[in-house]
Chain A
Amino acid sequence: MLSRFLSLFIIAGLAIAMAAGADLGAGTKAEELNVPAIVMFLLFVAGTLGITYWASKRTKSAKDFYTAGGGITGTQNGTAIAGDYMSAASFLGITGMVYLKGYDGLIFSIGFLVGWPVILFMISEQLRNLGKYTFADVTAYRLKQKQVRILAALGSIAVVILYLIAQMVGAGKLIEILFGLDYEIAVVLVGALMIAYVAFGGMLATTWVQIIKAVLLLVGTTFMSIMVMSEVGFSFDVLFTKATEIHSKGIEIMSPGGLVSDPISAISLGIALMFGTAGLPHILMRFFTVADAKEARKSVFVATGLIGYFYILTFIMGFGAIVLVLGDPAGSYLAADGVTLKGMNNMAAVWLAHAVGGDYFLGFISAVAFATILAVVSGLTLAGASAISHDLYANAFATGKVDEKKEMNVSKMATVGIGIAAIFFGIAFEEQNIAFVVALAFTIAASANFPVLFMSIFWKKLTTRGAVIGGYIGLVSALVLVILGPVVWTSILGNAEAIVPYKFPAVFSVPLAFIAIWFFSITDKSDDAQRCIDEFDAQDIRCQTGIGADGAVDH
């Protein structure tokens, strides 16, 4: 196994060296080769492959593979959850949004954060007490396994693939700019590394890669924020005054702008962000890696604190980028037009790293950004592979009659399959407008996964029919409403006006799913419906107390 890792590592190094050679030959084709960034990134890859090797020796059973044997502590898990949430999209995207629009960036951060207390109060302990490997363990607890598992797996795989496309395309573009590597090589490299982490190291490697990256990211962003504040004598008023003098929007960046223009959009965005988070399979899966409900709640406490802290930093960094990057006297970070940033406007955080810390710190932050993408795609891949092996293969089609070894092999094959699909989609979607995929992923998570999960935990009268029909209605309505919305209908299909004027149509699809679940449950008079209702009390006792829960720690 070790030799396989070594050869993979050498291949990765060769790919970088080859691309570097190609770029040096081609001269000005891509950005300049960033040597400190490549060195630091190779160190990260070497370290994480070492962890993967260590984890592979400890990953023997299915439980090890899916949940790291349940031996992750609350603090570790909370850090990993925060790492899952601090994706490249939030690090670069939110800093970039603050840089472009000022206050509006903060509105987005708050929307992303407020879902976490709700997850703590409503979902986290319940999940830990009822589930084993995937959230479908909870939704299928007293309902008919096959239909409910297929629904949950489809919802999970849809969210995972959409999220992966967004990450892969973003990764390819980012690496092209930061490291001077070709887009295709970057995408293949990300895909190959994530397959290695997940297939060999399972949840244990995935979790530790995520923890290391989260710590690196928090250290880096803390340093940048302190440097920004020291530049303005630690006075927010000086920071804001300078920023408004430099920014073309002037004083407007200090107040809510056009981001959230009408109440329905605002509420719909809020619902999608809040309940979408509670339906993301790669996040929900993390609650099974801790020993019990107590550690699960501690995870959310730690995660909420770290994510909140990180969002406050992105706000400081966004304003810092206005002052130090946009306001750079030599204009060295601007593209030829003198208005947009080199690369893209999402690069504000990266150029800020250079402005406050020079070439080496730029290299560090570039490597961290790459590591961030790797860690997040690994978590996604593991969640997708679990949906295929645990929900579809082991429980829906083989109806629980497979041995663990076979199930694990299927999940490793699924990991490779998802990895290859992600590479393929990443290359296929290079030139596409992918803004819609994140909207779609969050809307599906909020409309298909969350309502079924929530009702299965709290509502006694839920029946299989209600859950399945309601779940599919949520899934299909999310899909249709996003396609008819501004991002797909107008921007991609080129129609004049969107039929549904909301980017996140969760305000319609989520209630629709809940109503359908309710209606098709109460009108269900079958024998199975009565059985589902009768079994609720036992489920609820386990949910409330953890009595009878599969103890996650090996005894």
Chain B
Amino acid sequence: MTQEQVLEIKNNPNYQKLVNTRSKFAWTLTIVILVVYYAFILFIAFSPETLGAKVNPDAMMTVGIPVGIAIIIFAFALTGIYVKRANSEFDGLLANLKDDIEKGMK
């Protein structure tokens, strides 16, 4: 890739939109999963009795079990959300960018 091509792609609006929206989205989701996970860890460290409380007086199930299972499902759901948006929106922008580059070369 020559320096001119690099500059040209960097200044392409489709490229800028792709990079900006995708990195913002990726970082947001990363922060979300980190916050959820470390909140869970801090509960375990500082307040295990919260997770050990029964969901209702007659049940044996404790709060921690549905919470734990929910985190597993949530992590999977986040990957699904990312893949869905990447497959439609981000890949669409990428296709536009590749079109622009091809036109530029003609």
Interfacial residues, chain A to chain B (CB-CB below 8 A) = 103, 106-107, 109-111, 113-114, 116-118, 120-122, 125, 236-237, 240-241, 244, 254-257, 260-263, 266-267, 270, 274, 294, 297-298, 300-301, 304-305, 308, 311-312, 315, 537-538, 541-542, 544-548
Contact partners of B78 in chain A: CB under 8 A:
117
Q: How far is the CA of A297 from the CA of B78 in the complex (A)?
A: 12
Cross-chain contact B18 with A544 (CB below 8 angstroms):
yes
Partner of B87, one of A256, A294, A547: A294
- Given A114-B75, A240-B60, A548 contacting B1 (CB threshold 8 A): yes
Shortest 6 CB-CB distances between A and B: which pairs? A255-B52, A240-B60, A256-B48, A121-B26, A263-B45, A308-B72
**A311 neighbours in B (Cβ, 8 Å):** 72
**The residue from B59, B60, B80, B101 contacting A301, defined by CB atoms under 8 A apart:** B80
Q: Besides A117-B75, A120-B83, A260-B45, 20 other CB < 8 A contacts?
A: A110-B68, A118-B34, A121-B27, A122-B26, A125-B86, A236-B61, A255-B64, A263-B42, A266-B44, A267-B38, A270-B41, A294-B91, A298-B83, A305-B76, A315-B68, A537-B6, A537-B10, A541-B1, A541-B6, A547-B98
| Residues of chain A contacted by B76 (CB below 8 angstroms) | 304-305, 308
A545 touches B49 (CB 8 A): no
* 7 A-B residue pairs with CB within 8 Å: A113-B72, A120-B82, A266-B42, A294-B86, A301-B79, A541-B10, A548-B1
Contact call B51/A118, Cβ cutoff below 8 A: no
Is the beta-carbon distance between B79 and A117 smaller than 8 angstroms?
yes
Q: Is the interface of A mostly helix, strand, loop or mixed?
A: helix
Report the Cα distance A270→B30, complex, angstroms: 14
CB-CB nearest in chain A for B63 = A255
Contact yes or no, A538 B1, CB < 8 A = yes
Give the chain A neighbours of B44 by CB distance below 8 A.
107, 256, 260, 266
Residues of B within 8 A of A (CB): 1, 6, 9-10, 15, 18-19, 22, 26-27, 29-30, 33-34, 36-38, 40-42, 44-46, 48-49, 51-52, 59-62, 64-65, 68-69, 71-73, 75-76, 78-80, 82-83, 86-87, 91, 94, 97-98, 101
Find the residue from A121, A315, A544 having the highest chain B CB count within 10 A: A121
CA distance A260 to B43 in the complex (A): 11
**Residues of chain B lying within 8 A (CB to CB) of residue A240:** 60-61
Q: Are A237 and B79 in touch, CB under 8 angstroms? A: no
Is A260 in contact with B62, judged by CB distance below 8 angstroms?
Answer: no
User: For residue A110, which residues in chain B have a CB less than 8 angstroms away from its CB?
Assistant: 37, 40, 68, 71-72
Complex CA–CA separation, A542 to B82 (angstroms): 20
Q: In the complex the two chains form, is A263's CB within 8 Å of B46's CB?
A: yes
User: Is A237's CB under 8 angstroms from B60's CB?
Assistant: yes
B37 in contact with A270 (CB, 8 Å):
yes
Residues of chain A contacted by B61 (CB below 8 angstroms): 236-237, 240, 254
Give chain A residues whose Cβ lies under 8 Å from the Cβ of B45.
260-263, 266
CB neighbours of A121 from chain B (8 A): 26-27, 29-30, 82
How far is it, in angstroms, between the C-alpha of A460 and the C-alpha of B91 when the chains are bound? 24
Contact yes or no, B73 A297, CB < 8 A: no
Counting chain A CB atoms within 10 Å of each CB, the highest count among B44, B45, B78, B97 belongs to B44
B2's closest neighbor in chain A, by CB? A538
B9 touches A103 (CB 8 A): no
- A297 surroundings in chain B (CB, below 8 A): 82-83, 86-87
Please tell me if the beta carbons of B79 and A120 are within 8 angstroms of each other in the complex: yes
Are B97 and A545 closer than 8 Å at their CB atoms?
yes
A301 touches B46 (CB 8 A): no
The minimal Cβ–Cβ distance linking A314 to chain B, given in whole angstroms, is 11
Contacts of A113 in B (CB 8 A): 72, 75
A402 to B60, CA, bound (A): 65
Docked-complex contact B49 and A255, CB < 8 angstroms: yes
Interface centre among A297, A315, A538, A541, by most chain B C-beta atoms within 10 angstroms, is: A541
- Do A254 and B60 form a contact, CB below 8 Å, given A297-B86, A544-B18? yes
Task: Give Cα A241 to B30, complex, Å.
Answer: 37
Given contacts A263-B45, A547-B101, contact A541 B72 (CB under 8 A): no
A308 to B97, CA, bound (A): 36
Chain A's closest residue to B23 (CB) is: A544
A365 to B29 Cα, complex, angstroms: 38
Nearest A residue (CB) for B62: A254
Contact: A544 with B83, CB < 8 Å?
Answer: no
How far, in Å, is A460 (CB) from chain B's closest CB? 12
Q: For the complex, what is the distance from the CA of A224 to the CA of B72, rounded to whole Å?
A: 20
B49 / chain A contacts, CB cutoff of 8 Å: 255
A110 to B51 alpha-carbon distance, docked (Å):
15
